[in-house]
Amino acid sequence: MRFLLANATIVLPDRVVEEGWVVIDRDRIGSIGCGAYPQTPTMPHFDLDGAYLFPGLVDLHCDAIEKLVQPRPGVEIEAGIALHAADRLLLGCGVTCQLHALSLDDAEFGVRSDRFMHDFLHRLSMDRHCGARHMVHARVEVSSQRGLEALKTMLGHPFLRLISIMDHSPGQGQYANEQMFRAYVAQTSGRSDAEIDEILVRKRASQADIPRRIRQVVELAARHNLPVASHDDDTPAKVAQWVEYGLRIAEFPTTMEAAQAAHAAGMAVGMGAPNVLRGKSSGGNLSAITAIEAGAVDWLCADYYPASLLPVIFRLVDRGTLDLPAAVALISRNPARAAGLDHLIGSIRPGLLADLIVVQRVPDPVVQHVFVGGRLVYTWTEQSGTLPFIHQQAAGESLPLR
């Protein structure tokens, strides 16, 4: 099916087009223009009344699915139910491609386990009812005994698209000492002091084997052509080590020195959108706005809060930090490029998959319509009945992203 979206404010990679139009040809973006648009009797067109037309948002790291599966310590909901709940949430936030950040460790934090990862990948393989593109970002905890072995069983799965290397040992990255680690585990998992003692014993015993595990993760990822990201880098020296390993993505650097070193080394540096909205890190680390202003950030992710992505665009534009195309690129083209998906999604360009979102600013941004592969998968308007023809004619199974 071919149809046309007209009278839109289109955000292209390098400019904004007023009174623009886009022709959708089946699952792809066809032609783009402004002013007078092509009209044929057989091609319906829809007036977007000046609303913004953005590329669908691409999120490389969000662990919100964990809260949908385990809303409270000891309470677990089926993966399929959580997936469909996440799908509706993500579409309403404008996310058309989500890499769910799932951890592989020793099940220290409930759902962060190889069992849940296998369940989730199975659900993705079976599901035909989600509107967004769902994939997996495997976070391999190298201080765990099971993380690496679990990864080996998942390599080659078509929905596994990104790997990151984490070391959450006490004294590393997120936890400055064992007391901080103990408090976090107790708060998030409800484990007893004795259970946390056992975890700490395993962590201490794993230290000597961490370099070998890192090498294996990198080698396995290269064998399967998967990008690998570092996590919570705090020094230029640590960044230099990752560069030697061949890593090209750095997520959540905790200091300006680490962020600038990673960016200068050609790594795609990612930070959290909630950090931008709040103006500070929840862990007292580097301010994302400060890093963006310094030119050290390439992409933003939802981290733990999907609704943070879209408002970040206008927050950065209103501050004068970035223009609109650059702000949009932080959560669309740039993360797609970092994950090796920019030849398919992330920009409004002819030939790319027609993953598009229609956004009104009223004054906070609201997603009105979402298209994935040219198919309308989400709509919200104050008046019902908008775009009925697309609802009726473009329905059908969405194409998998390969």
Vertex 82 angle, CA 78 and 85, to 5°? 145
- Answer whether 42's CB lies under 8 Å from 77's CB: no
* Phi, psi at 365, each rounded to 5°: -65, 135
Q: What is the pLDDT of residue 344?
A: 98
Phi and psi, residue 354, nearest 5°: -80, 70
Cα-based distances in Å from 103 to 11, 144, 167: 34, 11, 11
SS3 181: helix
The answer to whether the beta carbons of residues 23 and 30 sit under 8 Å apart is yes
pLDDT tens, per residue, the chain with 402 residues? 899 999 999 999 999 999 999 999 999 999 999 998 887 878 898 999 999 999 999 999 999 999 999 888 778 899 899 999 999 999 999 999 999 999 898 666 556 667 788 889 999 998 888 999 999 999 999 988 788 999 999 999 999 999 999 986 665 656 656 677 777 676 666 678 787 777 677 766 677 789 999 999 999 999 999 999 999 999 999 999 999 999 999 999 999 999 999 999 999 999 999 999 999 998 889 999 999 999 999 999 999 999 999 999 999 999 999 999 999 999 999 999 999 999 999 999 999 999 999 999 988 999 999 999 999 999 986 654 455 444 333 333 333 332
Report d(CA 355, CA 346) in Å as an integer. Answer: 8
pLDDT at site 265? 98
Distance CA 170, CA 182 (A): 9
Per-residue model confidence as pLDDT tens digits over 196-252: 777 677 766 677 789 999 999 999 999 999 999 999 999 999 999 999 999 999 999
pLDDT of residue 144: 84
Tell if the pTM clears 0.75, that is, is over it.
Answer: yes
Integer-rounded Cα radius of gyration of the chain: 21
- Domains of the chain: residue spans and CATH: 2-55+346-393 (2.30.40.10), 57-338 (3.20.20.140)
Per-residue model confidence (pLDDT) at position 169:
66
- Position 395 scores a pLDDT of 35
Q: What is the pLDDT of residue 110?
A: 58
